[in-house]
Structure 1
Amino acid sequence: MLVHASGAITGAIVEQALRKLRLRDLETLRILDKTRSFARTSEAVALSQPALSKWLRELESALGIALFERTTRRVAPTAYGEALLEFVGRVLAEMQNVGPTLEALRTGTGRPVSLGCLPNMAQLIVPGTLGRLVENGHSIRLNVQEGSFTSLLTQVERRELDVLVCHQNATVLSSGLEVVPLYRDEISVVCGPKHPLMRRKTVTWQDAAEFPWIAPPSGTAFRNALNREFAEAGVAPPRVMLETLSKETSALIAQRLPCLYITSFKNWRLADRRGEKVHRLPLRITTIPEAVCAAFCKPAGFSVGAVIEAMKQIDFEVAGVSGYG
């Protein structure tokens, strides 16, 4: 006896019944929905009408619901049937993409993995990731976007981005995303080669407030963290001459003007090794977690999984600070 809207339909019963379905069964359901005829469906799937009717009755009995209404004139899906057929259509559509997807992975012409990075993290992550992908035998392309934490996190949650590289803060840990630790880094205060503070062994936030700043845009996590450091030191926020998240722009301006800005230790180390004249002061942002992670929605597809694995294999020692190794 079938259970309808007034009865109890448990998820366990439905799940158990669906596990027994084969791809051929899903195709049969779709054809029956399309033709609305047992005669035409039985012909299309090379199955006799009695066998087709028996198969459908057994499926409905296992599920505990009626999938199709049968009369002498028509066959039409019930509300339950329409709901199931919607998922059947998705599954069959995805299955049709398996062959082209595997071939695209082999030739390197598949959809790129979209990677969201906080400003200036891409130069630490992308080269090593691409190198490891090649070493691992994967022809996977990356599409890299930089932006604010809030914007990028929302895009990953909506599956508009595949992976987010960010600081491992409470928000990302409570987001429901899968989180994989990558490396540790701290946010430091830096200046140009002629700044008066670079000659001092001890620098306070009061000292830093006496000079103009290139600061992250208002409302960003980095700007809030910077303001918090001044507030906790009992110092009024400094004069901001420019708001930007660009390390390159900040560094160029700091070569000419006695200003300050923040950047990660790893980025400072890379700049120092390239011969850029940027001096690191003994001040750091303490409220930004040092842990940097990759966050993504589960389950991860093959390409996303390969990119995550490549990130975990990066030798972050090249940037001067050990990872999780």
Structure 2
Amino acid sequence: MFDIDPKKLLYFAAVIEHGSLNRAAKSLKVSQPALSTSMDRLEAEMGMHLLERGPSGIVPTNYGEILYCHARLIREEVELAKRDLMNARSGLTESIRVGSLPSMAGSIIPMALGRWRMMHPDGDLQVVENAQFDLLTGLLRRDFDFVVGFTEVFDMLDGLRQQVLFRDHLCVIVRPGHPLHSVENLTWQDLVQHPWISPTSRRSHTVLEHVMNTMNVGPPQQVTVCGSVSLLKSLVATSDYLALLPVHAASSELSEGRLVALPFEDPVLSRNIAVFFREGYEMDLPRKDLVACVKECGLELSRTGPAP
């Protein structure tokens, strides 16, 4: 069992980033001998060799790399705590930081932001789109005030709460003239015989993976991972790929005939969209209004169901 001194971890991160005990000591405003002794004691307490000299200076060992990742997070939390306390004492309001799924960022989120801006024209807002796993990780790290995501595919409940906003409907999109477009009574077995594009990052926990597991069918023969929804739609429109997207995320392409929704229905294609926030987090009025706008727009845009 390790007994780690947080202050030594902050020193450790500085040594790695400066690549020199002398430069790190100056930035930390401590003496070089004192910093060297602190690093020696950290290695002794951990029972591991954490630092070594390389051609360009001091670098972390493999164990040091692992520890550095956590040391950096601890330092960021300390800085964030200082900033939050200073802002609270001075009465300053922080920017609202929101994380959103890429499939929400092309339709529901812009519509919601437009309505929110009419209510709070001077509000400072930052929106980041990413995959669900990365969004929730960022939320736990306090990168976001809250995250808009789906409830069915995540395993990070500890420290988070959720509030369902609306019910979303996914459709299987293809190009016009796709071999499956004229097939009647489609099944999942028919669908997995064709290549798919999955809208996610390098992580697992994809919507497609969840659907396949739920339906107890094997994975498609070929899956291409694509983090951009706009690129995904372009690839589907020019190939025989299939993809799952919410109806609202492809509404323009569907109405213009550039994409087609296959005549395929299944309960697993409906999912709950929720706002996620940290345990104990209290929203002020601008943040509550933003969540209300997302819910309102989500209900409007998801009401139509799958396109014919």
TM, length-normalised to structure 1 = 0.58
What's the CA shift for 1:248? 1.8
Q: Deviation digits for residues 68-127 of structure 1, max 9, x if unmatched?
A: xxxxxxxxxxxxxxxxxxxxx9997344421x44xxxxxxxxx43111112221123322
Among residues 232, 239, 252, which one is paired with 1:250 in the alignment? Answer: 232
Contact 1:189 1:284 in 2 (8 A): no
Contact 1:167 1:289 in 2 (8 A): no
**In structure 2, what is the Cα distance between the partners aligned to 1:251 and 1:262?**
10
**In structure 1, what is the Cα distance between the partners aligned to 2:85 and 2:205?**
43
The residue aligned with 1:142 is 125
Q: 1:313 to 1:219 in 2, by over 3 A?
A: closer
What is the total number of aligned residue pairs between the two structures?
Answer: 220
Comparing 195-204 with 214-223, greater Cα deviation is found at 214-223
**In structure 2, what is the Cα distance between the partners aligned to 1:163 and 1:185?**
19
AA in 1 matched with 2:213: R
Q: 1:202 to 1:91 in 2, by over 3 A?
A: closer
The residue aligned with 1:219 is 204
**In structure 2, what is the Cα distance between the partners aligned to 1:178 and 1:138?**
29
Contact 2:116 2:290 in 1 (8 A): yes
**In structure 2, what is the Cα distance between the partners aligned to 1:226 and 1:150?**
17
Q: 1:270 to 1:319 in 2, by over 3 A?
A: farther
What's the CA shift for 1:173? 9.0
Contact 2:108 2:298 in 1 (8 A): no
**In structure 2, what is the Cα distance between the partners aligned to 1:261 and 1:156?**
27
AA in 2 matched with 1:162: D
Q: Does 1:266 align with 2:248?
A: yes
The residue aligned with 1:153 is 136
Q: 1:259 to 1:157 in 2, by over 3 A?
A: same
Q: Deviation digits for residues 54-75 of structure 1, max 9, x if unmatched?
A: xxxxxxxxxxxxxxxxxxxxxx
Q: Does 1:97 align with 2:78?
A: no
Contact 1:184 1:321 in 2 (8 A): no
**In structure 1, what is the Cα distance between the partners aligned to 2:146 and 2:84?**
24
**In structure 2, what is the Cα distance between the partners aligned to 1:240 and 1:315?**
32
Q: 1:196 to 1:168 in 2, by over 3 A?
A: same
**In structure 2, what is the Cα distance between the partners aligned to 1:188 and 1:277?**
15
What's the CA shift for 1:241? 5.3
The residue aligned with 1:306 is 289
The residue aligned with 2:273 is 292
**In structure 1, what is the Cα distance between the partners aligned to 2:166 and 2:155?**
16
**In structure 2, what is the Cα distance between the partners aligned to 1:309 and 1:282?**
33
**In structure 2, what is the Cα distance between the partners aligned to 1:161 and 1:279?**
35
AA in 1 matched with 2:169: E
Contact 2:136 2:156 in 1 (8 A): no
Identity of aligned residues (%): 23
**In structure 2, what is the Cα distance between the partners aligned to 1:177 and 1:160?**
14
What's the CA shift for 1:284? 5.6
Q: Does 1:240 align with 2:233?
A: no
Q: Within 5 Å, give how 1:13-92 maps onto structure 2.
A: none
RMSD: 3.1
User: Is the partner of 1:310 in helix, strand or coil?
Assistant: helix
What's the CA shift for 1:160? 1.4
